[in-house]
Amino acid sequence: MARDITQLPDLAAEGGRVAPVRSRMPVYVDLLPPCNNACPAGENIQEWLRLVKAGQDEAAWRELVRNNPFPAIHGRVCYHPCEAACNRVELDGAVSIHSVERYLGDLAVERGWTFARPRFSSGRRVLVVGAGPSGLSAAYHLAMAGHEVEIRDASPLPGGMMRYGIPEYRLPRGVLDAEVQRLVDLGVRIVTDYKVKDLLADQAEGGFDAAFVAIGAHLSRRIDIPGRDASRIVDAVSFLRGVASGERPVIGRKVAIYGGGNTAMDAARVARRLGAEESIIIYRRTEEQMPAHAEEKEGAVREGVTMNWLRTISSVDEEDLTVEIMELDEAGRATGTGRFEKLRADTVILALGQETDSDFLRRIPGMHFDHDVVKVDPRTLMTGVPGIFAGGDAVPSERTVTIGVGHGKRAARQIDAWLAGREAPNRPKHDLADFEKLHLWYFGDARGTTQPELEPDQRITDFDEIVGGLSDEQAHVEAARCLSCGNCFECDGCLGSCPEDAVIKLGKGFRYRFDYDKCTGCATCYEQCPVHAIEMIEEK
């Protein structure tokens, strides 16, 4: 890059030296890393990776749980959009953020790390309806803000769809229980086997100052399929919930799963573990249109699940199914062709989407709905009723654990502000440090680590966890692959490159400052900074 220095005939008294007149100057900046920007839970990923790299594992865990109290869970079930956004994808592959997060979560469970209790109590009480990821997250952040929190949930055990929807081979129940117990130890009260039927009455009787509704989507969407034996048709949510509760239903040798989402993939993989020799996904659109995450589909295929694209079930007969062959029209919509084929199936599992059981809210004046979900202010997550907030699967959004946890955090901060009679701060984000902004003359040449996995033929014999964690050494090597996009990591590049000695090192952890009396604005520091932690601005 050309240097932006204007030479003027300014003859100095000592020797007639020509001095440069600076037209721009360097400043240190902090930009937004793409991983942080992509995280639905709002984690400061770059910072906790830095701490792991420095060997400060407990400090890293405490930084992580400032935003997300469930790293051992998320390290297993999050679809890690942070990694898709990672700038290192352009070099040699994304940092395996989820595996380092899991490492910290498992280490915290192993070593018994606990949350530090808040030093004060607000004297306010908040009711949380639902003990799924969103409700548990809100309870944590509200408790850390000094509020008394009680969760009421209709199920026998807390966890929501993390317990009753995600199979144990992906999320061992001991891991879930350990991270939920940490909330109980913090002082959050969880009441199970309690279905809220009248929210306003529960609020009044319990003396709650606000409420957060996080009821999840536990009802399967039903369709009418003509058939002679309805007992052979089950819904995926009930099927997965029963298996998670210890049931082992007899499903036969051949099982058909109708649907193309993540729940369909889970049901198909569970069917294999229950002894199904054939587990067939029937989906009315194409593979590219399938809503399931790619890793879920790939895992199912590796375990022997068969995919039947562009097919829809038209009837269920005594021993088989009649399916219609579909095709895409000019607009990309699947339409029937009038051609049919037969498929053998002992059991049909319907996985066609889920709905919330929101009927108990419809009697509240001012509450508004979009079909089965509650309408909320998109910024505050408050419903049309002052003091009642909602989040997770109960509101319009993508339905993942991480989004639910992010909603819980956001709702907790809004509830805290509402209880105090103030506006929650709306902090603007820094500019994004995308790959084009980096000057990567230097980066560690370290290939990514790989988590151990069970072989497919081992997986389907039981419900043991199929993916293992990183070793201590692997986790620290992986964390060290972070480029620190947009934020100074004290590489001393600016210090060493400055021809005028205008960069002053302030000591480890305190970065640097510029001596502008010496700086000529030559931009050497800016040009060499690998992570764009220096910006050149117009001289004023």
Within the chain, all domains assigned CATH 3.30.70.20 are found at 5-30+488-538
pLDDT at 76: 97
Is the model's pLDDT at 82 over the cut of 60? yes
Number of H helices, E strands in the chain: 18, 23
Spatial distance between the Cα atoms of 246 and 167, rounded to a whole number of angstroms: 11
Spatial distance between the Cα atoms of 401 and 412, rounded to a whole number of angstroms: 17
pLDDT at 10: 44
What SS3 class is residue 397? Answer: coil
**Rg, C-alpha atoms of the chain:** 28
Within the chain, all domains assigned CATH 3.50.50.60 are found at 125-218+356-419, 223-353
Strands 503-505, 512-514: pairing kind: antiparallel
Q: Which tens digit of pLDDT belongs to each residue from 275-304?
A: 999 999 999 999 999 999 999 999 999 999
How many other C-beta atoms can be found within 10 angstroms of the C-beta atom of residue 205?
9
Instruction: Give CATH for domain 223-353.
Output: 3.50.50.60
How many other C-beta atoms can be found within 10 angstroms of the C-beta atom of residue 167?
17
pLDDT at 4: 42
pLDDT at 11: 37
Beta bridge partners of 503: 514
Spatial distance between the Cα atoms of 296 and 276, rounded to a whole number of angstroms: 19
pLDDT at 423: 85
Q: What is the DSSP string of 6-57?
A: EEEEEE-TTTT-EEEEESEEEEE--PBPHHHHH-TT---HHHHHHHHHTT-H
Backbone angles phi and psi of 504, in degrees to 5: -115, 120
Non-local (6+) Cβ contacts of 201 within 8 A are none
Contact of 133 with 190, CB cutoff 8 Å: no
pLDDT band at 444 (very low <50, low <70, confident <90, very high): low
Of the listed ranges 13-22, 134-143, 156-165, 324-333, the one predicted with least confidence:
13-22
Can you tell me the mean pLDDT for 44-72? 97
Beta bridge partners of 535: 27
Containing H/E element for 402? helix 401-419
User: Residues for the chain: how many in total?
Assistant: 540
Can you tell me the mean pLDDT for 381-392? 94
Return the CATH fold of 125-218+356-419: FAD/NAD(P)-binding domain (3.50.50)
Name the amino acid, one letter, at 153: D
What SS3 class is residue 129? Answer: strand
Is the model's pLDDT at 408 over the cut of 80? yes
Q: Note the pTM of the prediction, 2 decimals.
A: 0.91
Give the helix ranges, DSSP H, for 365-452: 401-419
Of the listed ranges 34-38, 141-145, 165-169, 359-363, the one predicted with least confidence:
359-363
Instruction: Give CATH for domain 5-30+488-538.
Output: 3.30.70.20
pLDDT band at 225 (very low <50, low <70, confident <90, very high): confident
Of the listed ranges 87-96, 175-184, 221-230, 416-425, the one predicted with least confidence:
221-230
Is the model's pLDDT at 373 over the cut of 70? yes
